[in-house]
Structure formats: structure tokens, C-alpha cells
Chain A
Amino acid sequence: MRDKSKIAEIVRSIREGDSAAMKLLYEIFAKEMLTLSYRITANLQDAEDIIQESFIHSFRVIDQLKEDGNFGPWLKRIVLNNSLKKIKKRRTYVTLEQEHIEESDDSDRWYEAIPFNIVQEAIQNLPNGCREILTLFLLDNFKHREISEMLEISVSTSKSQYQYGLKILRNSLKKYGNEGL
């Protein structure tokens, strides 16, 4: 259920003190938020802590939400900021020269044979920095300009790290296809 009017209705119920509505809102958004945080932090415990903090904060200041139907994007921004803050110290950007990257031919759609849990694991195993950028751009639909602002890097760094992450991902999945991870 992601209908904005339904979300707005639930948010209004929360404002009126309906605690069951909080649970409902949590159930709607929790997995998406946990996934988002986990992709960025690559640590499930950290991701759980972050969504706890973010949900509690959002419920407490829900009166500050200008459009009730926009709870999802608002919460997503909170989770995202908290996740990025969490990994700020361990974020590094590896230069492209540091890893040999093979160009690969995708015409045979070899990747369709890879189980999704393996794809998920391969994404989590990407180096910090390019993993965040790849997930933010490819899976969370942020533009490179937005990513550059969030991470305080240049747009060109965001683009190059994305390409770098993509190639590592492709290589590791190809390797799995050939010999298993």
C-alpha cells in the first residue's frame, strides 16, 4: 500500500494519537528502509539501529511533516542521512587504476542465470564508496548531482565510481557464473 492518500490518512491517525497506525506505517516502510540502510552500511546491525532511530525520530516530529502523503520520501531521506553519517569515516574511493577491470560482453545475458541472493551478496561486497554510489544511483534512483551533494564529492567522481562499482559487480558475478563465489 503506497497510495499517497492512504499514507496521509495513516499519518493523520498517528497525529491523533493512534499508536496502531504507527505499526501500520512501520510495516509499510520498514523493509524498504532496512534494505536501503543495509545497502549503504553493509552491516545489518547498523542498519537495524539506523531504522530504529529514524522511525522514532520521524514519529516524534511527525507534526513537522508538511505533506502527510510524503511520509515515505521524508523517512527515506532521514534513513539515508543517518546511514551515510554512520559510514562517513570508513568511506573511501578507490581509484580505477587500482583494479584491473575487464570489459565484458553482455549480449548472451549471462547474468540472468545468477541467483538474486548472489547478486545481493556481490553488491554488499563492493568496496565502500562505490557501493553507496551504485546503490543510490541504480537502485534508489538518485541522480549523480544529488549523490555528489549528499556525499560531498564531485559529479565526475560519482559517475566514475559508479562505473567502477558496476564493473566490479559484473566481474564478480561473471566469476560466480564460471566457478562460483
Chain B
Amino acid sequence: MKDFEKYIKDNQRKLDLDTINPKVWQSIEAGINGKKGKVFFLRKSIIGLTAAILVGVFCYQWFGNDQKESFPPHLLEDYGFKDSNVNDLLDTKINVIRKASIPVAYKNDLEMLLGQVANLDQHFAGKIKQLKLANSETELNREVLEYYKTKSEILDKVIDEIQKINSNEEEYQIRSEKTGIQL
């Protein structure tokens, strides 16, 4: 090792970051305790998920239709659904989640996400009566499709999180106690 390398190596502590954002510990602490407002590796998903749910809920304030058969095919394509049977698509994703398992230590994190999925469904069900009073069928269909799109995105995020959690286990060759997922 030449002098220049040795000099860098000998002084490497002087190259360390000397400050650390206090929010890092706050986020870790919140993540460990499962407190509201925690920011950790799920945070981006949670923020995205919350935003998606809000969009979905907002769209359902005034519209409604519980008949998937009435969706015009071009609208389905506009929203990225190649398969006209949207419920089957969602059921497939739900089945993937129901068949999966995760380490017990991560159960609470995932339940928070799943709880938001349930809230969206609940809200949708509660709005059905209002939706049936809407006058514009085209707009009604569009908003219903937005619901399915939101739900589909949320389920994808849940599946991604499950895969991420389990890939950590595999990577570090950890054999934690596993639990199933209720959805």
C-alpha cells in the first residue's frame, strides 16, 4: 500500500460523517414501537397507500355502481385492465396475500396496511346507496373503475411488502416464526 492510500486509511475516522439527523432515531423508535407516524422501510409504501386510499375515497363521495358488467370495455382498457373481469383480477391478488406468511415480528406493520385496504372496502360498501343515485352512468362507471384501480394498486403494494419482508429473511438466512395473513 502506497503512502497516499496509507494516509487515507490512517485518517479514515476523520472522513466519517460527524452528525446524524435526530429524526433517524425517532423513526427507528417509532418503527420498533409501532407508533403512529413511524417512518421506516415501509414509510414510502404507507404514504403512497394512504394517498391512493384518499384518492379512492374522494372519488366515491358522490358516485356509485355495484355492477361490474356495465363497465364499457374501453374504460377498462383506459385504466389498464386487460381482463374485463376485474373482480377475478383482485381475487387473484387477494389469494396470493392470503396464502403468504410473514415473520411474526412484522405482523403489526402489515396489519396496518391491510387495515387500510379494509377501510377502503368498508367505505365503498357504505357508499353504494349514494352511488346508485348518481345520474351520469359514464362518470359513475369511471369512478367505480377508479375504485378497482386503487384497490388493485394497494394489493400490489401489500404483495410487494410481503416479498420484501421475506426476502430479508432469506438473505440473512433467518428462520423466524411465521404467521399467516388475514384479509
Which A positions have Cβ atoms within 8 angstroms of B?
19, 22-23, 26, 30-32, 34-35, 38, 48-49, 51-53, 55-57, 59-61, 64, 78, 81, 106, 109, 111-112, 116, 119-120, 123, 138-139, 166, 169-170
Q: Is the CB of B15 within 8 A of A116?
A: yes
- B contact residues around A53 at 8 Å (CB): 40-41
Known pairs A26-B28, A31-B18 / 20 extra A-B pairs, C-beta < 8 Å: A22-B29, A26-B25, A34-B17, A34-B24, A35-B15, A55-B28, A56-B31, A56-B32, A61-B172, A61-B176, A64-B172, A81-B172, A106-B3, A106-B4, A112-B7, A119-B15, A138-B9, A139-B9, A139-B12, A166-B5
Q: Is the CB of A109 within 8 A of B168?
A: no
- B contact residues around A78 at 8 Å (CB): 172
**Interface SS of chain A: helix, strand, loop or mixed?**
helix
A23 to B25, CA, bound (A): 8
Among residues of A, the one whose C-beta sits closest to the C-beta of B31 is: A56
What is the minimal beta-carbon distance from B16 to any residue of chain A, in angstroms? 4
Which B positions have Cβ atoms within 8 angstroms of A?
2-5, 7-9, 11-12, 14-18, 20-21, 23-25, 27-29, 31-33, 39-41, 103, 105-106, 168, 171-172, 174-176
- B contact residues around A169 at 8 Å (CB): 8
Q: Is the CB of A52 within 8 A of B3?
A: no
Q: Is the CB of A31 within 8 A of B7?
A: no
A151 to B103, CA, bound (A): 28
For the A-B complex, the count of residue pairs with Cβ-Cβ distances under 8 Å equals 92
**Interface SS of chain B: helix, strand, loop or mixed?**
helix
A57 to B28, CA, bound (A): 10
Q: Is the CB of A35 within 8 A of B168?
A: no
Q: Is the CB of B14 within 8 A of A52?
A: no
Contacts known (A64-B174, A106-B2, A119-B8); A56 close to B41, Cβ less than 8 A:
yes
- A contact residues around B2 at 8 Å (CB): 106
What is the minimal beta-carbon distance from A18 to any residue of chain B, in angstroms? 12
